[in-house]
Amino acid sequence: MTPRTSPFTRPASLAGRHFSTVIVGAGINGAGVFRDLSLQGVDCLIVDKDDVAAGASSAPSRMIHGGLRYLESGSFSLVAEATRERNLLLRNAAHLVQPLETVVPLSSRFGGLWGSMLRFAGLSASPGARGLCVVGLGLRLYDKLGRNQRVMPEHRIERVPAADSALFGAAVRWTATYYDAWIRHPEWLVLELIDDAHRGHPASVASNYCSVTACQGRAITLRDALTGESVQVTADTVVNATGAWLDRAAGALEGDGSRVMGTKGSHLILDHPALRSALQGRMAYFEASDGRVCIVYPFLDRVLVGSTDIPVDDPDLAATEPAEIDYLLDVLREVFPRLDFGRKDVVYTYVGVRPLAQSDADKPGQISRDHAVVIDPPNARREVPMVCLVGGKWTTFRSLAQLAADAVLQQLGRARRQSTEQVAIGGGAGMPADAAGRQRFLDSIQAATALDRGRVAELFMRYGSRAGAVAADFAAAGDKPLRHAADHSTAEIRYLCRETAVQHLADLVIRRTLLAIRGHVTPALLAELADIAAAELGWSLARRQDELRACTATLRDRHCVQLPPAEAPRAEPADSVLATGSISNSLTT
């Protein structure tokens, strides 16, 4: 296999370079713009003050959806766009995005009808539980708007089956069932977008833990958060794709800083086998007694519950508060009265700050989730135009990126070469078309690598069509299972450390793998991962200990994961990191 260069580099190697576009913010929207422009042959640099996808892009409800509830406010164009993009992702990222059957419990026939009519007319009204008529009408329209690119099954409404009556309680008389989608590992898709951009145009590169501190003339000053070193690059255009940090970043870029507001959405991950089994693979989409919409669905071997919608001033300080945990658990008790819920069931929490356009709406839920591209023209201090991405939602990142890329191309005086609409993402390219094709694909990997069938299936789930290439590399390195997480191997963790710009242990534990969100992290596993990362990335024993302490604190303070204090310093790395293995130099070769 021919080694390829990584898309990631450190700021020191960028000093004095010129780029047609510098993109600030390596979340889903920034990465989408990075890929789109790179596929047009535009030299791009994308930077982020933190890790790739460390902000709201790593903290969605993991739903890929059209936004059923937005119909009530008359946002037909947004729902049509979102359902189209949902269907495109089901095809272009089929390794990570899959259909999700969704059930809506209904207790009344005409509930919420008058309130819905008032809200549709733009008037304020108390929510009220929506009943059969309102939901049925909304789903008929939702089906119609979603019939493009890929046909999803039509919704159905039925008398509540006996099993669902036991699940939801006697008050529920009907259930409405429709289909949306969910994404297993959103952070990985962001990494794949960045890798695809570099593959398509090697002059485009990325740097995490790299902040923009100034923009004077055409010169942009970058600061390496790891070393404190500052360097300058020059650019013809700048893209501000920092989400909830948009106004703050605009200040450093000498632009307008009054465009966005943030609301935080907190989510819980539960270890609750009874609820997971009762859901039968479906998402339950329902209203709490206060009118707020909540969701709960099986997420791998756990259950995901979300979410709150609370205004915040500083996205860096957003965290899941105890009151939010209690609120979501109370909602679960309300909707599933025959099941027991408590703090003991919560294995992980996470919170993201939604970047919404400035609004004077009475409630956060009434603020539009639509997006816009705004251009700040050059001024006396900044000689280059700045393209700002305002608002948006995870599902519609590609269409927002296309709008932003078109704005950049116009500023550069260049034409679009291709649309990204039909371009598969990462391991979604060349995915088997059906179950039989998948089995043949897995058979070929197993025959070529002699890996266990279960391990091959795991790698296929994570890497899609690129599973064969990574499996061959892992097998060549021995693919020894981790002692404390047998579904990962030492070779795979080394690969993630080296090829995906891991800078801190938390990057590996929280974003490159799903170990943390699944509630699988233990002190022993954390120490084992720290050993491997230290050996692969050249950390000293002191650095290893610092990373252990910092990761433990992050898990505790931001994700409510309680672990004992980090272990005392070790005299030498564990045996698992002494062996070496050769893995090709590519994110997903």
Query: Where in the chain is CATH 3.50.50.60?
Result: 11-56+187-258+369-412
- pLDDT surpasses 50 at 449: yes
Give the SS3 label for residue 345.
helix
The domain 435-559 having CATH identifier 2.40.128: the answer here is no
Q: How far apart (Å, rounded) are the C-alpha atoms in residues 404 and 426? A: 21
pLDDT band at 380 (very low <50, low <70, confident <90, very high): very high
Confidence of residue 369 (pLDDT cuts 50, 70, 90): low
For 153-202, how does the pLDDT look when each residue is reduced to its tens digit (9 = 90+)?
Answer: 899 999 988 888 888 887 899 999 999 999 999 999 999 999 999 999 99
Backbone dihedral region of 519: left (phi > 0), alpha (psi from -120 to 50 degrees) or beta? left
Per-residue pLDDT at 340 exceeds 80:
yes
What average pLDDT does the segment 309-321 reach?
Answer: 89
Instruction: Write the pLDDT tens digit of every residue in 459-492.
Output: 999 999 999 999 999 999 999 999 999 999 999 9
pLDDT given for residue 275 in this prediction: 96
What kind and span of H or E run contains 298? strand 293-299
Task: Answer yes or no: is pLDDT of 268 > 50.
Answer: yes
Domain 11-56+187-258+369-412 has CATH 3.50.50.60: yes
pLDDT of residue 392: 84
64 CB contacts (<8 Å, ≥6 apart)? 86, 89, 90, 97, 180, 181, 182, 183, 394, 395
Mean pLDDT score, 294-315 = 92
Residue pair 478/564 in contact (Cβ under 8 Å)? The answer is no
Q: What angle do CA 231, 236, 237 make, to 5 degrees?
A: 95
Cα atoms in the 13 Å half-sphere on the side-chain side of 368: 18
pLDDT band, residue 309 (cuts 50/70/90): confident
Mean local confidence (pLDDT), 315-343:
93
Average pLDDT rounded to a whole number, residues 491-507? 97
**Delimiting residues of CATH 1.10.8 domain(s) in the chain:** 435-559
Neighbours of 428 (CB within 10 A): 23
pLDDT of residue 165: 85
State the CATH class of domain 76-181+262-355.
alpha beta
Q: pLDDT at position 357, please? A: 74
Residue that the structure tokens 């790179």 belong to: 38
Q: Where are the CATH 3.30.9.10 domain residues in the chain?
A: 76-181+262-355
pLDDT at 576: 40
Interstrand relation of 18-24 and 63-64 (parallel, antiparallel or unpaired): unpaired
Q: How confident is the model at residue 589 (pLDDT cuts 50, 70, 90)?
A: very low
Residue 587 has pLDDT above 70, yes or no: no
Mean pLDDT, all residues of the chain? 89
Cα 482 from Cα 463, distance rounded (Å): 19
